[in-house]
Amino acid sequence: MSLNPFLIVAIDGGAASGKSSTARALAERFHFLHADTGSYYRALTAELLHRGVAATDPAAVRAELAELHFGTEVFLSSARLKIHGDKISNADIRSAAVNAAVSHFAALPEVRVTLLAYQRGLADVARKHDFRGLVMEGRDIGSVIFPHADCRFFLHADPVERVRRRAREGQADAVAERDRLDSSRENAPLTCPVGAVAIDSTHLSLPEVVEKLARQIFARLLKA
C-alpha cells in the first residue's frame, strides 16, 4: 500500500439522486476535496441569465463565455466556483429560473468545453491543498471528465422518491424533465458509464448509501 495515494472518485446520477449529500459525507470521511459540478453549471447559468443571454442563442453564449474568468474558493472540504472573483449565492443557483434553464445551457458544447478543463484542474487544486483525493459529482464525471477515476459510481432512485426529496428541501423542481433533457442530449449525456458501480438508493438511508461507497473506496485504498 502506498503511503500517499491520491484517489479520484466519480459519482454520477440523475436529479435529486443523493449525489451531493453522499459526496459531501465521503469527502469528510476520507479528507477528499468535494466538487459539486451541478453547482458550477448552475452558477454559469445564473451568470448568463443575469447577462441577458438565452440558451437558444449559442453565438451570444460563446461571446459571453469568452469574457468570463473562473477561479476556485476552497471552503472546508468543498471547491466552489468563482466567476470574476465572486461566488454566486446558493439562493441564486437554486432559483426557479436556473432550475428551468440549466439543462438547456448544459446541453451546449461551448458550455461543456468551458467547464471541462476547469473541472479536470480541480485535481491539482486538491493536491495543492493537501487533500487525499477528489470526489466529484455530476452527470458525466465517470464517462467524460475522469473516465479513469479510481472509483466510479452511478446513483439512481425512483423518480417519485426523488421529487419527494426535493420537496422536503422546500423546492419544486422538474426532476423528471431535467433528467429527460440531460439523458437525451448529444454531448456527454447522463448515463451509467460502463464499469461504474450502480446503486439504487430508493429504499436506502443516506448513511447506508455512504457506507456502500465508502467500503469500495477503502478497498481501492488498500490496493493503492
The single residue among 24, 34, 42, 165 that binds ligand CDP, judged by CB under 6 A, is: 42
Q: Are strands 133-138 and 33-36 parallel, antiparallel or unpaired?
A: parallel
The single residue among 146, 178, 196, 213 that binds ligand CDP, judged by CB under 6 A, is: 178
Packing angle between helix 19-30 and helix 206-223, nearest 10 degrees?
Answer: 50
Stretch that binds ligand CDP, among 38-46, 59-67, 74-82, 207-215 (CB under 6 A): 38-46
Residues 134-163 that bind ligand CDP (CB under 6 A): 138-140
The single residue among 7, 10, 22, 37 that binds ligand CDP, judged by CB under 6 A, is: 37
What one-letter code names the amino acid at 86? Answer: D
Residue 215: CB minimum distance to ligand CDP, A: 24
Q: Is 22 in the site for ligand CDP (CB under 6 A)?
A: no
Eight-state DSSP code of residue 185: -
What CA–CA distance (Å, rounded) separates 153 from 113?
23
What one-letter code names the amino acid at 11? Answer: I
Cα 153-75-29 angle, rounded to 5 deg: 45
What CA–CA distance (Å, rounded) separates 199 from 209?
8
Stretch that binds ligand CDP, among 36-44, 74-82, 148-156, 210-218 (CB under 6 A): 36-44
The residues of the shown chain that bind ligand CDP, judged by CB under 6 A, are 15-16, 20, 37-39, 41-42, 102-103, 106, 138-140, 178, 182
